[in-house]
Amino acid sequence: MHPSDFMIEYVVPATESWKANQPSKHLAIHAISQIDILAEVVANHIGQKARTFRDNLGQRHPALAKIRDAHDSHKHGQLNRATALFVSQGQRPDEAIGHGFFVGVTHLSRPLTPFTYLALTLNDGTTVQVYTLIKDGMDAWAQEMAALGI
C-alpha cells in the first residue's frame, strides 16, 4: 500500500476518531499506533530496512520516536531495545488534571478551572499531552513525506 493511501485510510481516520472523543484511552492508543505503523509502510515503500529507517526517523523527529516508544511499550510492556529512550516501562496514556482559564467559566480573581486530559508519562517522569504528541507526530509526518516526495 502506498504511504499516502495508508495515511488517508488509516492514520487520519484514527486521529480524527480520537479528536472527537479525546478522553478515550483506546482511541488515543489506536491513533498513536497508526501513526507509528506508518513508519513501516514508508520504509517498505522506499526500500529501507524498517528498524534502520525508524531509528533515523526518530533522530529527525523526536515526536515520532516518542510515538514509536509509546506504541511498542503499550504492545510489549517493558522494552529492552536501546533506542527506547522516552517510553519503555509499559506506560500507557492516562487521565491527568490540568488547570486553566476558560472564558465564561473561570471568574476573575478566582482559582483556575480544572480540566482532564490524557497524558503519557515519559521515562524521566515528565508528561506529554496526548494531543500534543499526536499533533506533533502528524506534523512530523507531513514534513517527512514532503521531503521524501510522497
pLDDT tens digit string along 48-96? Answer: 999 999 999 999 999 999 999 888 776 766 656 666 556 556 567 788 7
pLDDT band at 14 (very low <50, low <70, confident <90, very high): very high
Reported as half-sphere exposure (CB side, CA atoms, 13 A), residue 53 has a value of: 17
Residue spans of alpha helices (H) in the chain: 3-6, 12-20, 25-46, 50-60, 62-76, 130-148
Predicted TM-score (pTM) of the model is 0.84
31-50 pLDDT per residue, tens: 999 999 999 999 999 999 99
Dmax (CA) for the chain in angstroms is: 59
> How long is the chain?
150
Are 87 and 70 contacting, i.e. CB atoms less than 8 angstroms apart? yes
Q: How far is 93 from 81, CA to CA, in rounded Å?
A: 21
Residues ≥6 apart with Cβ < 8 Å to 150: 2, 3, 4, 42, 45
125, 112 contact by CB (below 8 A)? no
